[in-house]
Amino acid sequence: MPSDPPPRCSACPVRATAMCVGLKDDELAALHHIGRRRRIVGGQIICWAGEPSPICANLVCGVLKVTRAQADGRVQIVGLLYPGDFVGSLFVARAADTITALSDADLCVYPRPALEAVLADHPAARRLMLRRTMATLAEARRWMPMLARGRADARVAALLLDMARRSGCRDREAFCLPLSRGAMAEALGLAIETVSRHMTLFQDTGLIALSGLRGVRLLDPPRLAAVAG
């Protein structure tokens, strides 16, 4: 008889979107056996590019940024990771990118060698994992065109649309921003005053409605998309 899914897995808020989606109970049990939860604070480095890469993880809550050093010494943000995304790389000894928490975050962490062994024993789980990691990579690639926008208002608008989409927000539905104004500024390479000014402008022109520190509603997504370009 297959084992029941571990209680922690059954209650996981990203069970339906993380790498665990579609896994059978015995496969979940194998992951649960090697996994542990880890809380990290905003600003903490999870892994450095070029350093040994001993872990992989599911991001349960929070937002992480992925950065890469360029040949001229500049550090480029190459992606954001949201809840449900896979963190790290399988079958590589060293991390390709630096991953930093933009907000307090909660991860389900797996030692990379142990995770690779579990996947070797469960071919179906390996296929699902490959599909999920490719989806995470595709999401990260969406970030590059966002930063390529020259105007600050276009960057802020594009990030708002992206956060709404990744939050599962329905059309004109209110949601809680996963990033503070400061974290948004850091992610976009802007000053916090610039981000706040454009958020206020978007509210004054009827594009969004703000409530409290993090609440937002996209009142006119098509117009906001036009600003984003």
Q: Burial code of 115-132, b = ≥16 C-beta within 10 A, e = fewer?
A: bbebbeebeebbebbeeb
Residues composing the chain: 229
The pLDDT of residue 150:
74
The pLDDT of residue 51:
93
The pLDDT of residue 6:
63
Instruction: Supply the mean pLDDT for the chain.
Output: 85
Alpha helices in the chain (DSSP H): 7-10, 25-34, 112-121, 123-141, 143-148, 152-166, 181-188, 192-204, 221-228
Question: Given pLDDT bands bounded at 50, 70 and 90, which one contains residue 2?
Answer: very low
Mean pLDDT, rounded, for 197-211: 95
Residue type, 11: A
Q: Each residue of 10-40: pLDDT tens digit?
A: 778 887 777 777 788 888 888 888 999 999 9
The pLDDT of residue 146:
67
Residue type, 95: A
- What would the two tokens of residue 138 be? 């595709």
Q: What global pTM score does this model have?
A: 0.80
Question: Given pLDDT bands bounded at 50, 70 and 90, which one contains residue 1?
Answer: very low
Q: Each residue of 211-223: pLDDT tens digit?
A: 888 889 999 999 9
